[in-house]
Structure 1
Amino acid sequence: MIKVLLADDSNLARTILRDIFHRTSDIAVVGEAADGREAVDKSRLLKPDLVIMDILMPVMDGMAAIEEIMATSPVPILVLSSTMEDREVHSAFAAIKKGALDVMGKPGGADFILTEDFQARLVEKVRLLARIRVIHHLNRAFVEPVPAPVPPQDAAPTILAVGASTGGPRAVLSILKALPADFPGAVYIVQHIAQGFARGFAKWLDTESSISVRLAEDGEGVSPGEAVVAPNDCHMIMENGHIKLIDAPPVNCCRPSIDVLFNALAEDQGARVLGVLLTGMGKDGALGLRRIRECGGATLVQDEETSVVFGMPRAAISLNAAGQVLPLSGIPHAILRLFGKNDQFRMQ
């Protein structure tokens, strides 16, 4: 049985969530909290398998509560955002930076209008996140890892393609923050993320990074030192050096799909692509990464120890798609060395 703690100052929200889980056979609500301080105390006392956390709460807000929980009694945390306004969406991603695993929006915002689609997605998300092992998430000084060896390339790449799913927002951020403003490559990102959060994810990355990050638009080009994030609910590909957003069926149950982007970039740009596959459940991106490698591009995969979920990286390794398997802290070093910028690693 999955034990869930609900932390939300809205009695309506807690009632709706309680009713959703009451209809399942494997999820039980073991406690409720109406403010952040109560959430911290009950998390320590009840030892739930997952905490569902609102951000805007009295006494102690969700941000501070997440930080204390992850420092003292770490547990998987799912953030439920009540609005899609920029400020709260940014706060939701800041919560991920502090240790939360994922974020979802409440349908109907603060009014919390229940839909069957939301109920199904929430139950699926809870079952996934509750199985993830988390560790203490404390603020520590950055320790620069020993650079990993990078195999020689015929020419430096010009495109960096990044794919991620569960645990990805924090991993993607750690890579982009390490890139200098004059990074000589165009960056394409597919992050599996809840409906409505792709634009906020791009804005958050833009705020936190030296390079420019924006949501991808159909027909535009991407210059060196710029990054684009695939929008929700459409695939992103490249044709003749320009982005094309397509409304094709999901691939690997995903839209946008990492495989779709990686395959398109491999066919359009060949050896000029460096593909990076990060933490995530399932196998999306593995075949596409292999295609990049077959076309002469370099490929990097996050290792098991630093992945929140090792599904996608494991699938890539099993297909011999990984040119290198590296800890997350070593991936920026490898990227910069392949792009000829090995002397510009930005310590975080």
Structure 2
Amino acid sequence: MKDNNSNTIRVLITDDSALAREVIKDIFRLTGDIIIVGEAADGAGAVELTQKLKPDLVLMDLMMPIMDGLTAIEEIMAHAPTPILVLSASLGDRDVNNAFAAIKRGALDVMAKPEGFATETVSRCFASAIIEKVRMLARIKVIRRRPSRSRGVPPSGPKSVEPHRILAIGASTGGPQAVMKIVRSLPADFNASVLIVQHIASGFAYGFAQWLSRESTIPIRLAKDGEEFLPGAALVAPSNCHMVVAGGRIKLTKDQPVNCCRPSIDVLFKSLAQEHGGSVVAILLSGMGKDGAEGLTHIRQRGGMTIAQDEQSCAVFGMPKAAIAMDAVDMVVPLGKIPLTISRLFVSRN
């Protein structure tokens, strides 16, 4: 049964550690709007309780007996689609790889369990972060939707005729799967540089880059300060660093967050507009807030091509919506058609 209070967020906890479940419950007792409607000690229990209780969000551990979290996520998304937040045991390669495998199967986001989690020693920072994350993700509707038709937004002025040499991608909540779909479609001989800013929990950027690279025909890795960005390869902004371009090289900075984000999509897009203008194709994907919208405006004004993911294919339409409202977008395109759009844009100019 759903709670009569529409502001209440109903959460199902899945973790084989009883202590971990108690720690999470203690955190949510500090709120007035998040309630625990059920607990499961394995993936099979999570699948059953999700169908029975219809929670607003599932907190999912991955390494569990009987049925692991990855299998449970597949079952939930197939039969009772529900927002899922994965709590990763650590930032080790195996756990990070599993976390991105979970996103591929339908989980919306990941967080790392802090040190001391199993001993009830949880920082205020983690408690605040998970509360904020649950409130945000629980509002997302994870339903299957029919793809929509793309539509163009008339450009504000004439476009540059210079070749497209840079593909810039910005994404936030709901973005990892979208970014994956795009980079996986790029051919091995893609003759442009790819720069990616993905808002993701601190410490997961390296695993995100590895995950993308395994699925792509072009090499993808974390960006390094001072390196060149070359055609046929993709660079991902590291955790807690802004990524900008200057003089044909990558510059990583610890400047203040922009739009509460570091790395910020706006920071990258503005630097690309200033240095490369019409040679840039910039894409803004699913995400909360407005990061990237102003940067798209700069790129469009300098003659670059700007694309926003459409509402129907977004997990969260916040960032693309903000960009469209600012008249920063040349085309609004469903995710499934963005790869073809990229192919046409780069082939037509090269």
How far has the Cα of 1:156 moved from its partner? Answer: 2.5
Tell me how far 1:146 sits from its aligned partner: 8.2
Query: 1:132 is matched with which residue?
Result: 140
1:254-333 superposed matches below 5 A: 254-333=261-340
Q: Is the 8 A contact 1:306 1:327 kept in 2?
A: yes
Tell me which residue corresponds to 2:5: none
The 2-side partners of 1:56 and 1:225 are apart by: 36
Deviation at 1:251?
Answer: 0.4
Aligned to 2:4: none
Matched with 1:186 is 193
Q: Match for 2:204 among 188, 194, 197? A: 197
5+ residue gaps in structure 2? 1-7
Q: Is the CA contact 2:168–2:281 (under 8 Å) kept in the aligned structure 1? A: yes
User: Which letter maps to 1:311?
Assistant: G
Residue 209 and residue 77 in structure 1: after superposition, are their counterparts in 2 closer, same or farther (change >3 A)?
A: same
The answer for unaligned runs of 5 or more in structure 1 is 138-142, 343-348
| Cα deviation code 1:147-175 (max 9, x no counterpart) | 87899751331001100000000000000
Contact in 2 for aligned 1:72/1:136 (Cα 8 Å): no
CA distance in 2, matches of 1:134, 1:204: 22
1:339 match: secondary structure: helix
1:40 aligns with 2:47: yes
Q: Which residue of 2 aligns with 1:58?
A: 65
Matched, 1:68 2:39: no
**Normalised by the size of structure 1, how large is the TM-score?**
0.93
Q: 2:90 aligns with which of 54, 72, 83?
A: 83
Structure-2-length-normalised TM-score: 0.92
Where 2:262 maps in the other structure, the secondary structure is coil
The 1-side partners of 2:198 and 2:205 are apart by: 8
Give the Cα–Cα distance (whole angstroms) in 2 for the partners of residues 341 and 145 of structure 1.
24
Write the distance in 1 (CA, Å) between the matches of 2:162 and 2:331.
18
**SS of the residue aligned with 2:244?**
strand
Distance in 1, matches of 2:317 and 2:203, equals 25
Q: 243, 257, 271: which one pairs with 1:236?
A: 243
2:128 aligned with 1:120: yes
Structure 1 residue 109: Cα displacement:
7.3
Question: Is the counterpart of residue 247 in structure 1 residue 251 in structure 2?
Answer: no
The one-letter amino acid of 2:132's match is: E
CA distance in 1 between partners of 2:268 and 2:77 (Å): 34
The residue type paired with residue 273 of structure 2 is A
Residues 146-155 or 282-291, more deviating: 146-155
Quick check: 1:93 aligned with 2:100?
A: yes
Residue 196 of structure 2 is aligned to residue 211 of structure 1:
no
1:277-328 Cα shifts (integer Å, max 9, x gaps) = 0010000000000100001100000000111111100000011110000000
TM-fit CA distance, 1:23: 1.1
State the alpha-carbon separation in 1 of the partners of residues 39 and 118 from structure 2. Answer: 19
SS in 1 for 2:347: coil
Matched residue, 2:112: 105
Deviations 1:58-117 (A, max 9, x none): 100000000000000111000000011112211111111111110110011774641111
User: Per-residue deviation at 1:225?
Assistant: 1.1
